[in-house]
Amino acid sequence: MLQFTETPILPPHPLHQYELTPFSNNLIMSNNVNPFHRTRPWPGFLTSKTLGSFGDANCMEQLLVHCANAIDSNDATLAQQILWVLNNIAPPDGDSSQRLTCGFLRALIARAAKTGSCTMLTAMATAQVNLPLNVHKFSVIELASFVDLTPWHRFGFTAANAAILEAIEGFSVVHIIDLSSTHCMQIPTLIDSIANRSEGPPLIKLTVAGATTDVPPLLDLSYEELGSKLVNFARSRNVGMEFRVIPSSSSDGFASLVEQLRAVQQLILANGGGEGEALVINCHMMLHYIPEETLGVTPYCFESSSTSSLRTMFLTAIRSLEPTIVVLVDEDADFTSNNLVCRLRSAFDYLWIPYDTMDTFFPKGSKQKQWYEADLCWKIENLIAQEGVQRVERLEPKSRWIQRMQSANFRGIQFSEETVLEVKSMLDEHAAGWGLKKEEDEGLVLTWKGHNVVFSTAWVPA
């Protein structure tokens, strides 16, 4: 058991107390420094006697919370000592809880550097964040294989595609607005299903938002190249497809995308068309990148409101387009708090799930596992180290999105029993532990060991 003593020693110079290794990206104590020799008590710190094992997940979460408070209150001594404990109990190659904690450890160090708090940690923290995360750029084949590894994305793909297929029956033209974090990986399966329609396939117009910010997973080719591959794939299935990229950013609520969609809709209506064309808005884990806070300046394509957030204005704008169906899929967690500790607790209590699931199908040392965890570490660092517009990881729970959609005058529709059976069949292909909840008028929820993971909802104009 670690023993705390009151033996006074001279504190080491902060620049010599830590060294960095490029392999683990962890802090290592040098010069045989014992950080637990103190000249004053450590107020508020929970010892192993009160917490149990220092390797316990609850204990590691408490240590992270104390470290976050110490950094934000500029208590460098306390922060250093908690960092030392965390570094020794949370190796980057440990179990799922240890690897999760290691990701938060790195994020807290990055926060110390970016905020300028804890000046004694500044040099050490700057060196740490200058070791970049090895976020992998996927080829199309790699990304397709990557999203098929777990139901994390496949769940949303399966439920959304089934709802879309039912909604577009009888339409000769289908315009799909794909707002997806997985770079159209959902679309090939949808094309396959459309190609098998008894009445023959419609013309597909696929519009995507060319994001201006890089958010994992990253793709190693341009959207123009990706579009060419999708058009060729559709042609091989005897499906006509048009592909269009509209440069647009989540940071302003996809304002340029909404503006151009309005212009296209007005042109179609002016020419007397639109009756045989379905408009599908497919939102797959992308809307939470729209800032939640009310901004001082409203994009000119949105109606100005002193109380609405960009998310609300975006939903109101797409409602005005009278879409045939809107599908909303996202992770069921809350990362919107402006309070760092609340955000940290919420993230820790949710992000153990992907780390836990990885241990069920990835062998130790797997390259794909390293890619997956690098993306998770990017997410953790963004929601812990960043603030303001730079903090783009702003998940909201299903209940709040339901309120937003209803307020924007959308009505939720139930997924059919055939869709539920299809989703269950997909889950049977994966490890035990995945489950499905069907909630009346509130869509489907993917679970892991009973915990909510991802929700899928479908909406039509009320």
Per residue in 109-150, pLDDT tens? 999 888 766 655 655 544 454 455 778 999 999 999 999 999
Whole-number pLDDT of residue 307 = 58
pLDDT grade, residue 362 (50/70/90)?
confident
* Residue among 184, 229, 186, 238 nearest 211 (CA): 184
Q: Which residue has the higher pLDDT, 153 or 79?
A: 153
Mean pLDDT (the chain, rounded): 84
Whole-number pLDDT of residue 364 = 82
Distances (CA, A) of 417 to 34, 197, 420, 455: 62, 19, 5, 17
Sketch out the chain's domains with CATH numbers.
55-131+333-390 (no CATH), 138-295+308-332+395-461 (3.40.50)
Encode pLDDT of 170-222 as tens digits. Answer: 999 999 999 999 999 999 999 999 999 888 899 999 999 986 578 999 999 99
Encode pLDDT of 398-453 as tens digits. Answer: 999 999 999 999 999 999 999 999 999 999 999 899 999 998 777 999 999 999 99
Encode pLDDT of 381-404 as tens digits. Answer: 999 999 888 999 999 999 999 999
> Could you give the CA distance from residue 102 to residue 376 in angstroms, rounded to a whole number?
11
Whether residue 23 has pLDDT greater than 50: no
What are the percentages of helix, strand and coil residues in the chain, rounded to 5?
45, 15, 35
Whether residue 366 has pLDDT greater than 50: yes
Whole-number pLDDT of residue 61 = 96
Whole-number pLDDT of residue 54 = 64
Whole-number pLDDT of residue 260 = 94
Find the helix packing angle between 96-115 and 340-361, rounded to 10°: 140
Whole-number pLDDT of residue 25 = 39
Contacting residues for 211 by C-beta, under 8 A, at least 6 apart: 248, 249, 250
Q: Which residue has the higher pLDDT, 226 or 441?
A: 226
Whole-number pLDDT of residue 7 = 32
Whether residue 279 has pLDDT greater than 50: yes
Contacting residues for 378 by C-beta, under 8 A, at least 6 apart: 133, 135, 216
Which of 110-119, 215-224, 229-238, 248-257 shows the highest mean pLDDT?
Answer: 229-238
Sign of the CA dihedral 378, 380, 381, 383?
positive
Whether residue 17 has pLDDT greater than 80: no
pLDDT grade, residue 297 (50/70/90)?
very low
Whole-number pLDDT of residue 257 = 95
Query: Averaged over 258-280, what is the pLDDT?
Result: 85
Whole-number pLDDT of residue 270 = 77
> Where does 8-62 show beta strands of DSSP type E?
18-20, 27-29
Whether residue 368 has pLDDT greater than 60: yes
Contacting residues for 4 by C-beta, under 8 A, at least 6 apart: 36, 38, 42, 47
Whether residue 77 has pLDDT greater than 70: yes
Query: Averaged over 350-372, what is the pLDDT?
Result: 91
Whether residue 302 has pLDDT greater than 80: no
Looking at the DSSP bridge assignments, the partners of residue 5 are 37
Q: What is the pTM of this model?
A: 0.86
Query: Averaged over 265-279, what is the pLDDT?
Result: 80
Whole-number pLDDT of residue 69 = 95
* Residue among 332, 333, 334, 325 nearest 419 (CA): 325
Q: Which residue has the higher pLDDT, 21 or 134?
A: 134
Whether residue 4 has pLDDT greater than 80: no
Whole-number pLDDT of residue 292 = 84
Sign of the CA dihedral 387, 392, 396, 401?
positive
The region of weakest confidence among 131-140, 309-318, 352-361, 431-440 is: 131-140
Whether residue 83 has pLDDT greater than 60: yes
Whether residue 315 has pLDDT greater than 90: yes
Whether residue 303 has pLDDT greater than 80: no
Terminal CA-to-CA distance of the chain, rounded, Å? 62
pLDDT grade, residue 48 (50/70/90)?
very low
Find the helix packing angle between 151-167 and 417-427, rounded to 10°: 160
Query: Averaged over 301-327, what is the pLDDT?
Result: 84
Share of the chain above pLDDT 70, in %: 79
Structure tokens at 327: 């599908």
Query: Averaged over 272-277, what is the pLDDT?
Result: 75
- Kindly give the residue spans of alpha helices, DSSP state H, lying in 168-222: 187-195
Whole-number pLDDT of residue 121 = 61
Judged by DSSP in three states, 272 sits in coil
